[in-house]
Amino acid sequence: MTSYEEINQFPIIGELNDQDLLSIRTYLRINEFASGTAILRQGQEADHFHIILSGVLDVYVQGETKVHVAKLRPGQFVGEMSCLTGGAVSATVQANGPIRTVSMPREGLLQLMDKSAEFRNHMVDAMVQRISNSNDRIVEEYMRSSVLLRQLQEEQQSRYGELVGESLFMNGLRSEIAEWSRREDTLCIIGENGVGRAHAALEIHALSRRAECPVFLLDGVNLQLEEWETKIRSARGGTIILRDADALPADLLRRLAHSLDDTRFILTARHPLELAKDRIEIVPLRERTEDIPSLVYSFIADAGFDSPERLMSQEAMNLIGNFPFLAGNVEELRRVVHEALIRSNGDTIRIPHLRFGSAREPGTRPRIALALGSGGSRGAAHIGVIKVLEQAGIPIDMIAGTSVGAFIGALYAGGQPVAAFERVLPTVRWRQLVRPTLPQNGFVDNHPMVRFVENYIGPVDFHELRIPFAAVASNALNGEAHILNKGKVSHAICASTAIPGVIRPVRHEGHLMLDGAVAHPVPVALARSMGADMVIAVDLSTPDSAKREPANFVATILNTIDIMSKRMMQDELQLADIVLNPRLENGSISFKLSSLHIQEGERVARDSLSAIQDKLQSISS
């Protein structure tokens, strides 16, 4: 039994006179509920009505989805209608944090309403007002029910099932998702387009306590504030996922976050955001290539084929594994696999069935890329190829380069004319590009190359280049490819040209990197992934019939890389439209022969000019 002092502090009841209080005192009960406890359940009868003493109660209506109706705070009450009439409760009432109530059974409620006209009028007025407010809210929410259900169906279709992949990264990602499903903080999931940022956000919602409530995906690029207001009202208790949040100003993001009421906010972006200090980073597909076979087989199975392993040749799988998927990561891989299934007519997918890159906009000319391969000082031949293309009026829309191909490609993309190369390259000496160091993982380091490159094009970032350009380096620990297309160009070139065993590995973007020839000797896949419709590849490898015995240690290393990369290069060259192979000997590492190498590049390009123009014409038509 409660004391008079405590009863006098109760909302509503504390306003009664002593006689009325005495008549109901034996019916009063103090209750304490833990967060998440359902005090009343929709469809069940309430044997007590409750007045809230402290804490907050959430009121939900469960239909096709769980809709938040109201929040009740101290002084408000619930369950009175069911308690009085014996009917079922019309909504679920759940504790949002610790809750303390005073409750009374039907007998006490009837007795009090019978004896106290003041209390009866107070209760009736309050009930009418609350029912009116609740009905307004329910009407408002269910007027949008068709929009809500359509959105939920779209989100259900957008889920890809389980996150596929057993790499170390994917196992770690699953652990992070499980951890974040138990938290409520605003979270940002960052990564390139198509890596599965929204998928991860949906998984966090599905594993959370909010799983029964709506989840909405909104697009930051085309966000309409009217749509935002509609969705946040429908999503109360659930989750809002804002894709491409970095497309919005920081102050607008803060305003959007502050407008949410009991709704989880998850952002996706390419880069970290100030609003969300906590984040998950999803690495690009090319940095977890061990997941690619599992993804390919899952896409084939999703298309309705049994035994998916039998429908993918090893050669096609190898080529898919070497493609960087810059434009769309997992989503781009899905498209490549589905289109290959169509071309193979449901039979085994082979290399000719694969089509990479994006479709050209109608009415536009083909985009032409150069894929400039590795080859040490023989890279001067790239200049001869570029010279002939310029003279023929064939545009160069983008360049991908490996090792010396990255060196030449970066300087040309940065604005250096062919004439400057012809004048400077024969005078270049290795001491301008490298310096001796202690023989630890290499005899020299190539940091001087930073100054050499910047002397000609300045300390520019990739986005400042005249022609879009990307380079390839390889991970010094596992040999995997790293695509270099952001940050300082000069530093990326150092990473791409660090010859294994000769030049010390270069630390760049948090990784220890070596010469890109280890992964992509001629980066055709990179050029295609950059958006090229036509790729002209320049392969500087020396045919076995033209090889000479290496004259020194460095030439021996370069020849070894050449031998090891031949098979891998042949697979990738199948993605090129035109392959140019200047006839260059492998013996010298000096730049003194650059003029001869330029001439050989001119010769092979001029001999292939009609084939290049024919191919361009066929692609254009």
**Residue pLDDT, tens place only, 525-580:** 999 999 999 999 999 987 655 556 655 555 566 666 665 666 667 778 889 999 99
pLDDT at 49: 86
pLDDT at 146: 46
pLDDT at 138: 45
CA 593 to CA 580: how far, in whole Å?
Answer: 20
Residues 278, 300 share a domain: no
Is 485 among the domain residues?
yes
User: What average pLDDT score do residues 293-305 get?
Assistant: 93
pLDDT at 88: 84
What is the bridge-based pairing of β-strands 469-475 and 481-484? antiparallel
Residues 298, 270 share a domain: no
Please give the residue range of the domain that contains residue 121: 3-135
Q: What is the DSSP string of 74-136?
A: TT-EESHHHHHH--B-SSEEEESSSEEEEEEEHHHHHHHHHH-HHHHHHHHHHHHHHHHHHHH
Residue 476, phi then psi, degrees to nearest 5: -70, -15
Torsion-angle region of 100 (φ positive above 0: left; ψ -120 to 50: alpha; else: beta): beta
The CA–CA distances, whole Å, from 405 to 102, 395, 452, 523 equal: 79, 18, 16, 9
Question: What is the CATH number for 199?
Answer: 3.40.50.300
pLDDT at 81: 77
Q: Which residues contact 19 (CB under 8 A, 6 or more apart)?
A: none
pLDDT at 157: 47
3-state secondary structure of 363: coil
User: What average pLDDT score do residues 594-614 get?
Assistant: 95
CA 39 to CA 134: how far, in whole Å?
Answer: 18
Q: Find out whether 613 and 392 touch, Cβ atoms under 8 Å.
A: yes
Give 506's strand partners: 513
Q: Note if 403 is an active site residue.
A: yes
Least confident of 2-6, 217-221, 330-334: 2-6
Q: Is the pLDDT of residue 84 over 80?
A: no
pLDDT at 228: 86
Residue 241, phi then psi, degrees to nearest 5: -110, 115
Residues 391, 343 share a domain: no
* Selected catalytic residue, list 244, 291, 515, 539: 515
User: What average pLDDT score do residues 263-270 get?
Assistant: 94
pLDDT at 118: 66
Residue written as tokens 């530093």?
491
User: What average pLDDT score do residues 601-606 get?
Assistant: 96
* Selected catalytic residue, list 116, 374, 403, 594: 403
**Could you tell me what percent of the chain has a pLDDT over 70?**
85
User: What average pLDDT score do residues 411-433 get?
Assistant: 92
State the sign of the Cα–Cα–Cα–Cα dihedral 552, 496, 447, 513.
Answer: negative
What is the bridge-based pairing of β-strands 469-475 and 398-402? parallel
Residues 95, 214 share a domain: no
Q: What is the DSSP string of 293-325?
A: HHHHHHHHHHTT-SSGGGGB-HHHHHHHHH---
Q: Which residues contact 564 (CB under 8 A, 6 or more apart)?
A: none
Residues 298, 277 share a domain: no
Q: Find out whether 560 and 516 touch, Cβ atoms under 8 Å.
A: no
CA 235 to CA 229: how far, in whole Å?
Answer: 10
Q: Which of residues 234, 264, 283 is at a domain's end?
A: 283
Local confidence band at 144 (pLDDT 50, 70, 90 cut-offs): very low
Residues 490, 380 share a domain: yes
Residues 454, 344 share a domain: no
Q: Is the pLDDT of residue 503 over 80?
A: yes
Q: Find out whether 435 and 444 touch, Cβ atoms under 8 Å.
A: yes
pLDDT tens column, 14-70: 777 777 777 788 888 889 999 989 999 988 888 888 888 999 998 887 765 567 777
Q: Is the pLDDT of residue 473 over 90?
A: yes
Residue written as tokens 């019309």?
90
Measured torsion, CA atoms of residues 572, 577, 578, 581, in degrees rounded to the nearest 10? 0
Residues 430, 308 share a domain: no
pLDDT at 132: 52
Question: What is the CATH number for 61?
Answer: 2.60.120.10
Q: Taking the complete model, does pTM exceed 0.75, yes or no?
A: no
Number of other CB atoms surrounding residue 605 within 10 Å: 26
Is 163 among the domain residues?
no
Least confident of 155-169, 281-295, 296-310: 155-169
Q: Which of residues 260, 283, 306 is at a domain's end?
A: 283
Q: Note if 590 is an active site residue.
A: no
pLDDT at 120: 72
Q: Which residues contact 27 (CB under 8 A, 6 or more apart)?
A: 104, 105, 107, 108, 111
Average pLDDT, whole number, for the chain? 85
Number of other CB atoms surrounding residue 345 within 10 Å: 7
CA 536 to CA 400: how far, in whole Å?
Answer: 10
Is 392 among the domain residues?
yes
Residues 471, 490 share a domain: yes
Residue 219, phi then psi, degrees to nearest 5: -105, 120
Is 104 among the domain residues?
yes
Residues 322, 295 share a domain: yes
The CA–CA distances, whole Å, from 495 to 255, 328, 503 equal: 42, 25, 10
Q: Find out whether 239 and 206 touch, Cβ atoms under 8 Å.
A: no
pLDDT at 558: 61
User: What average pLDDT score do residues 92-111 get?
Assistant: 88
Local confidence band at 441 (pLDDT 50, 70, 90 cut-offs): low
Element (H, E) at 24: helix 18-24
pLDDT at 142: 45
DSSP 476: T
Q: Is the pLDDT of residue 317 over 80?
A: yes
Q: Is the pLDDT of residue 365 over 60?
A: yes
Q: Is the pLDDT of residue 402 over 60?
A: yes
pLDDT at 145: 46
pLDDT tens column, 580-597: 999 887 666 778 889 999
Is 614 among the domain residues?
yes
Q: Which residues contact 425 (CB under 8 A, 6 or more apart)?
A: 380, 383, 591, 594, 595, 598
Is 415 among the domain residues?
yes
User: What average pLDDT score do residues 372-401 get?
Assistant: 95
Is 361 among the domain residues?
no
Q: Is the pLDDT of residue 411 over 80?
A: yes
How many independent structural domains does the chain possess?
Answer: 4
Return the structure tokens found at 401: 């380069």
Q: Is the pLDDT of residue 495 over 70?
A: yes
Burial of 454 (0-12, 13-18, 19+ CB in 10 A): middle
Q: In what order do the strands lie in the sheet with 29-33?
A: 29-33, 99-105, 48-54, 77-78
Q: Is the pLDDT of residue 323 over 50?
A: yes
Q: Find out whether 191 and 197 touch, Cβ atoms under 8 Å.
A: yes
Torsion-angle region of 244 (φ positive above 0: left; ψ -120 to 50: alpha; else: beta): left
pLDDT at 494: 93
Local confidence band at 298 (pLDDT 50, 70, 90 cut-offs): very high
Among 595, 377, 592, 597, which residue's Cα sits nearest to residue 499?
Answer: 377
Residues 379, 339 share a domain: no
Residues 75, 56 share a domain: yes
Q: Is the pLDDT of residue 169 over 50?
A: yes
Is 336 among the domain residues?
yes
Q: Find out whether 60 and 19 touch, Cβ atoms under 8 Å.
A: no
Q: Find out whether 425 and 412 touch, Cβ atoms under 8 Å.
A: no
Q: Which of residues 283, 313, 343 is at a domain's end?
A: 283
Question: What is the CATH number for 556?
Answer: 3.40.1090.10
Return the structure tokens found at 513: 């990197």
Q: Is the pLDDT of residue 601 over 60?
A: yes
pLDDT at 64: 54
Number of other CB atoms surrounding residue 620 within 10 Å: 12
